[in-house]
Chain A
Amino acid sequence: DGGITQSPKYLFRKEGQNVTLSCEQNLNHDAMYWYRQDPGQGLRLIYYSQIVNDFQKGDIAEGYSVSREKKESFPLTVTSAQKNPTAFYLCASSITGGTGTEAFFGQGTRLTVV
């Protein structure tokens, strides 16, 4: 079945560690996105990518890094520079060009700093 797979579902990080969240899609979508969701808040954009080997910062990129080496994959690294990383992270993808198509979302990764 086509879709977006995020792993792991739950992730625990110690202070000062970098962690990488995985996002894979088999929808053949060009664009991929990472959002952060905090309790009682909407989703905020971290990074997005329109094409392989290219990505742009979103509204809250500080303390995060991404790569887009393959069309199917868009991993997000939460670095030690991110001061408050505990949150729910959602990956999404969409086609680009033409009409304003909807984004499809993965099931999310819940990151907790311990």
Chain B
Amino acid sequence: AQKVTQAQTEISVVEKEDVTLDCVYETRDTTYYLFWYKQPPSGELVFLIRRNSFDEQNEISGRYSWNFQKSTSSFNFTITASQVVDSAVYFCALKEDPGTASKLTFGTGTRLQVTL
């Protein structure tokens, strides 16, 4: 069965610090997708990134970067020079069998608090 683990329940940093959110996943499929979502206090989940199992190229988008390593089943997310607006709950999710409307399996989320 598929599983996503986000061991960090809550992280607090001071603005401008770099912060890495960890995500470890389990799946028996060779084809799967990984996602990161952000949930601000308003409640809506905002899509951040998608990565498929065949593409281990790491990605940088502005202050965000992602490190996908199949060897360790990890898909970590780093925010560089954090800002107060980054404060939110971040979810990592796994989707098997991407050709259908199969379910997303979510981790329990990491609450990030960025203070001045």
A residues lining the B interface (CB < 8 Å): 30-31, 33, 40-45, 48-50, 58-59, 88, 90, 92, 94, 96-108, 110
Contacts and interface: CB of A to CB of B under 8 A. Distances in A.
B101 A102 contact: no
Given A88-B43, A107-B44, A108-B44, A49 B108 contact: no
B74 interface: no
Interface of B: 4, 9, 32-33, 35, 37, 42-47, 50, 52, 91, 95, 98-101, 103-104, 106-109
Contacts, number: 70
A107 B91 CA distance: 16
19 contacts: A30-B101, A40-B9, A42-B109, A43-B45, A43-B106, A49-B101, A90-B44, A94-B101, A96-B101, A99-B33, A99-B98, A100-B52, A100-B98, A101-B98, A103-B47, A103-B104, A105-B44, A105-B46, A108-B43
B103 A100 contact: no
Contact of B50 (A44, A96, A102, A104): A102
Most-contacted residue by chain A among B44, B45, B47 (CB, 10 A): B45
